[in-house]
């Protein structure tokens, strides 16, 4: 293949999952349904938390931020894929591809950081309950979220700038349903050693670091729960972090599964299909995880939906 000048690259082709015309309506309907469920479910969580003053606590503040990020991370990839299927056009411009990649890295990183912040919140609540209100002040909660946003934005900017320095071959087909960083790097004709080193280093630093923090927090949480004398007290303490633990297991389980499967198989289409787990399935399931086992959220949702129904009748 002949390398092309970077300024000459104007568009890429997103190959998606399948080129079979008969499967396109099925894929379109499936992803549209999952996307609508994801947006609606997470939006209801945000509205329920904001409308109920009893939920204006650090735990639910972080939960509403997680729901916002889940809406954003799916909105960076799925609408473009649906549009391509509907128009039967797989083209995405170079600028749009870089922009999509940038925002996906931002929101995927934010998912990781907010889950880590939520683990710290549960650590303080269970291991230092008497000092919880003193430690988890609104100013600290806002600062933790702000630092998460800044770190994710800077990380994404670094990765995007590293991609911008690459030259690409004449083959500009991306075997994925969105512009994923690793796939973009593999398309390059220029030397990608520095890009790969940065990618792996940041993955260990910003992926392994938060995961180590979550594991440390839960090791302390488990020790504190085991020290509680009554079985009812143990159950009550564990129930406050069960939803978060489920969300963490789902997020890291699907993410690690995707990258382990991509390392074991050479099929890019299999990797794209597996990526659906953490790009769409996890954000879709998070509202169910936090609402089905949480009486406060269920009560707030009932109250919010009841108020909405009353307003509609009055109108």
pTM of this structure: 0.89
Tally of CA atoms within 13 A in the half-sphere of 156 that contains its CB: 20
State the total domains in the chain: 1
Provide the 10 A C-beta neighbour count for residue 187: 18
Q: Which helix (H) or strand (E) holds 180?
A: none
Range of the domain at 63: 3-314
Where are the extended beta strands (E) located within 42-181?
91-93, 168-169, 173-174
Backbone angles phi, psi at 93, to 5 degrees: -70, 160
Query: CATH code at 236?
Result: 1.20.1070.10
- The pLDDT tens digits along the chain (315 residues) read 344 444 456 789 988 877 777 888 998 999 999 999 999 999 999 998 988 888 899 999 999 999 999 999 999 999 999 999 998 888 999 999 999 999 999 999 999 999 999 999 999 999 999 999 999 999 999 999 999 999 999 999 999 999 999 888 776 888 888 998 988 888 888 888 999 999 989 988 998 999 999 999 999 999 999 988 888 888 888 888 888 898 998 888 887 777 666 655 555 566 677 788 888 988 999 888 887 667 777 777 777 776 655 666 665
Pairing of strands 11-14, 168-169: unpaired
Q: Which helix (H) or strand (E) holds 52?
A: none
**The residue to which tokens 């939906």 are assigned:** 305
Residue 105 structure tokens: 């890295």
Q: Phi/psi zone of residue 307: left (φ > 0), alpha (ψ -120 to 50 degrees), beta? A: alpha
């Amino acid at each position: 293949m002949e390398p092309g000048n970077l300024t000459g690259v104007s568009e890429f082709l997103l190959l998606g999952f399948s080129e079979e015309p008969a499967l396109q309506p099925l894929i379109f309907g499936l992803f549209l349904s999952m996307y609508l469920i994801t947006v609606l479910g997470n939006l209801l969580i945000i509205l329920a938390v904001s409308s109920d003053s009893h939920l204006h606590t650090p735990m639910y503040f972080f939960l509403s931020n997680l729901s916002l990020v889940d809406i954003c991370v799916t909105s960076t990839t799925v609408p473009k894929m649906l549009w391509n299927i509907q128009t039967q056009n797989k083209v995405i411009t170079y600028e749009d591809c870089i922009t999509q990649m940038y925002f996906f890295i931002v929101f995927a990183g934010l998912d990781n950081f907010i889950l880590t912040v939520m683990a710290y919140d549960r650590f303080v609540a269970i291991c230092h309950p008497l000092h919880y209100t003193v430690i988890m002040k609104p100013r600290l909660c806002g600062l933790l979220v702000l630092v998460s946003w800044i770190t994710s934005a800077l990380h994404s900017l670094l990765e995007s700038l590293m991609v911008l320095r690459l030259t690409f071959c004449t083959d500009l087909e991306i075997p994925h349903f969105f512009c994923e960083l690793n796939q973009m790097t593999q398309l390059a004709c220029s030397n990608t050693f520095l890009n790969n080193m940065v990618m792996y280093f940041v993955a260990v630093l910003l992926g392994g670091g938060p995961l180590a923090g979550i594991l440390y927090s839960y090791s302390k949480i488990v020790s504190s729960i085991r020290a509680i004398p009554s079985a009812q007290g143990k159950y009550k303490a564990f129930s406050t972090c069960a939803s978060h633990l489920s969300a963490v297991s789902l997020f890291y389980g699907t993410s690690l599964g995707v990258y382990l499967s991509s390392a074991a198989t050479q099929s890019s289409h299999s990797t794209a299909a597996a990526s659906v787990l953490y790009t769409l399935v996890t954000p879709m399931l998070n509202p169910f995880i936090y609402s089905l086992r949480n009486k406060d959220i269920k009560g707030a949702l009932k109250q919010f939906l009841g108020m909405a129904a009353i307003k509609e009748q009055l109108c």
